[in-house]
């Protein structure tokens, strides 16, 4: 006879398993399958070929020792990921540190944390486009710099450049780093901090030996959020980069626009594998499941 109580956990997991299977596993398998199909100018042809992957890497072999377009695009995307991750990590850690240890009142912590979330009440596109009037040739920043004598002409690098892309990324995704780090810091036993001060540890020693190690789960989780989002973001790079800066996400978007779905699927598979490799390397630094 089937024991319902004994298998209650398994029964309760069925809805979640179905959702993950239907909306994650199946679409992912379809993307992998389509990446091996053939296509022409007006249709896709079910097949099993490696042409789509060969087209991505074949030019790299021919262009050695120079970087091919595909490899240079991946390097460009990884560069944006690394710079954005580094800045959001430093900013998010300092904000979380201030909220956790410098603000003693719980009510004030809630108020300040809500202030951090206010920008997320609006669309990402609106927040991103809001930088254009500020950074444009006749924008507020250039006008101010010229009025105070810092520059004689508008600074072209402020907008439609790598600087504006990274600025928009940091603006959009820093909160994804703040929240998990803040959550980890709030779980730190304050008696450990008091014991460190009683033992004569300086603030820097307390930070490096207690706070940072115990905040590592939040740092890893926040890093995973930022990396996965930035790796696939092509809208921010397209708008803030003036459609001049390459990215893997933009290549996939262009290929889908021209109905080259198998080629887009092949690039998507490589992008997913690259992202998973980065995440796998980061999860080796801490057992997230155990820490949570």
pLDDT digits (tens, 9 = 90+) for 235-252: 899 889 888 888 888 889
Per the domain annotation, does 45 fall within a domain?
A: no
Instruction: Count Cβ atoms below 10 Å from residue 151 Cβ, excluding itself.
Output: 12
Confidence of residue 219 (pLDDT cuts 50, 70, 90): very high
Which distant-in-sequence residues (6+ apart) come within 8 Å of 139 by Cβ? 132, 133, 158, 159
Per the domain annotation, does 53 fall within a domain?
A: no
Among 208, 216, 220, smallest CA distance to 185 is for 216
Per the domain annotation, does 18 fall within a domain?
A: no
What local confidence, expressed as pLDDT, does residue 67 receive? 59
Per the domain annotation, does 14 fall within a domain?
A: no
Per the domain annotation, does 84 fall within a domain?
A: yes
Q: Is the pTM of this model over 0.95?
A: no
Burial of 23 from C-beta contacts in 10 A (0-12 / 13-18 / 19+): exposed
CA pair distance 168, 94, nearest whole angstrom: 19
Give the CATH number, domain containing residue 275: 1.10.3720.10
Q: Do the Cβ atoms of 253 and 234 come closer than 8 Å? A: yes
Boundaries of domain holding 259: 64-291
Question: Percent of the chain at pLDDT above 70?
Answer: 91
Per the domain annotation, does 222 fall within a domain?
A: yes
**Long-range contacts: 24-31, Cβ < 8 Å, 24+?**
28/272, 31/265, 31/268, 31/269, 31/272
| Whether the predicted pLDDT of 61 surpasses 70 | no
Number of domains in the chain: 1
Q: Do the Cβ atoms of 205 and 160 come closer than 8 Å? A: no
Per the domain annotation, does 30 fall within a domain?
A: no
Q: How many helices (H) and strands (E) does the chain have?
A: 18, 2
At residue 233, φ and ψ (nearest 5 deg) are: -80, 115
């Amino acid at each position: 006879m089937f024991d319902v109580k004994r298998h209650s956990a398994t029964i309760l997991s069925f809805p979640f398993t179905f959702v993950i299977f239907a909306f994650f596993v199946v679409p992912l398998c379809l993307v992998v399958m389509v990446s091996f199909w053939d296509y022409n100018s007006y249709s896709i042809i079910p097949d099993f070929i490696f042409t789509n992957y060969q087209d991505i890497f074949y030019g790299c072999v021919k262009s050695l020792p120079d970087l091919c377009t595909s490899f240079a695009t991946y390097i460009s995307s990884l560069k944006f990921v690394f710079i954005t991750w580094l800045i959001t990590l430093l900013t998010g850690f300092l904000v979380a540190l201030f909220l956790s240890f410098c603000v003693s009142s719980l009510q004030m912590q809630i108020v300040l944390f809500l202030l951090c979330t206010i920008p997320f009440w609006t669309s990402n596109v609106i927040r991103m486009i809001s930088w254009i009037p500020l950074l444009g040739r006749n924008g507020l920043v250039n006008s101010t710099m010229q009025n105070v004598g810092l520059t004689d002409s508008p600074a072209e690098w402020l907008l439609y450049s790598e600087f504006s892309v990274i600025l928009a990324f940091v603006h959009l995704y820093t909160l994804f780093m703040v929240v998990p780090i803040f959550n980890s810091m709030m779980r730190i036993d304050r008696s450990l901090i008091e014991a460190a001060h009683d033992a004569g540890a300086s603030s820097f020693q307390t930070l490096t030996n207690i706070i940072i190690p115990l905040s590592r789960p939040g740092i890893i989780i926040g890093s995973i959020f930022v990396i996965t989002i930035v790796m696939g973001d092509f809208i921010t790079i397209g708008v803030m980069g003036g459609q001049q800066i390459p990215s893997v996400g933009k290549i996939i978007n262009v290929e889908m626009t021209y109905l080259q779905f198998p080629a887009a699927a092949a690039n998507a598979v490589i992008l997913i594998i690259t992202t998973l490799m980065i995440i796998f390397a980061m999860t080796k630094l801490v057992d997230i499941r155990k820490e949570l």
